[in-house]
Chains A and B, each alone.
Chain A
Amino acid sequence: MILFILFSTITVKAFDTPNDGGGSITIKAYNVPETVKKALVYRKTEGDTTYTLAGVMSILSYRYVDADSTIKNGKPYYYRVDFYFPDTVISVVSDSPGIAYAQWYDKSKTSSLIFLIVFSTLVLVFIQLAKKDPEGLYIRKIPALDAIDEAVGRSTELGKPTFFVHGLLGITDAGTLAALTILRRVAKKVAEYDTPILVTNFDPIVMTASQETVKQAYTEAGRPDAYNEKNIIYLTYEQFGYTAGVDGLMVREKPGAIFLQGYFFAESLILAETGHSVGAIQIAGTTAKEQLPFFVAACDYVLIGEEMLAASSYIGREPVMLGSVKGADWGKAFLMGIIGIGVVLGTVGAILQSAGNGALMNVFEKILAFF
């Protein structure tokens, strides 16, 4: 039997879900005893005589977001929540109706907006400074990128082909775009040395981009006639099928140099170990942090994370590109500063809290909530 307890300690509020595109109302319950086993949310609107079931409320957060397709912006909706106790059920009605609205600005993303503005400004400022003073820019040595010429050269001396193996993510991945930059450099060297190249692709869009990149590199090297589209091949969109295909090509063709560039998963070590077994010089580059140890163990050179993303700036050495790298470094410094402040505030706050003064901890928690 359902008991309607008007003066229950439990309260239910229905309000417009903040920071959304409308069409949804949040129902939140307060002062709910821990003994509640289940909570069901019911809804009705103007003209309805009875409530209809809207859904199950989480008894971890005591929050339910009603985004049913029937919810209209600007229209009031009334909610009742039935709380199931071991031996009884208590129904609580929301103190006021919930009305949905669409928002023009997502306040929860303010920290992202601030960071975007600061970071973009820093990058743009350093690009402008780089244009004015191109000599004042320094980029540290990246051995893996310096080794590209050596690898292609060695492959040429041995009379073996060069392999360029793309990772498993598509063209929307920054690492894949960086891989295309590196491919351009490799293909140009290959064209200059007149040695064969084979580019394997997991993604057909990356394949077409690779074909264009290699074609352009051959043109830049003054050897457009040597370009052969059929050397940039698609294998399969299946992880270990791709791995088997690349491994098979490695074992049969015995390349002198192998470039493993892009985002890799569990196949990283299988590819790198096979490459090692055929005696190729291997240069890997990935933004997949968990695959880095495998590449470090099995390859001669590795582009670690952001080194790969800076490849175009390093290879091109254009002031504008280098300026953007410097801007990004300052952005990193800005972020490190914020992290440092956060660490100090959190640590001191925790110490003071344990001594009975929780004011600083409150400030720290508010900052955390903002982010």
Chain B
Amino acid sequence: MSDFMARVYVTPRPSVRDPEGSTIMEGLHQLGFSGVQMVRAGRYFEIMLQAGDSHQAEQTVDLMCRKLLANPVVEQYRFDLQLEATSE
């Protein structure tokens, strides 16, 4: 078994309005960051998990995203995986 670190990013789907992102963009504009064109606000998860190999870890995290972490009606997700340690 190996330990993996999954970093999961959940964001609103492009067709879904994101009032939080819009408000943050306004704030950035008020601070003088006039070049900001778009802000989309989402969620970030760090998940440590054990899996037999990276393929299995990937499948497991994908299932976690679909079943709980993201709401497919309004959100999309992506993640990356990092091997942390391998044990016997």
B is a partner of A: no
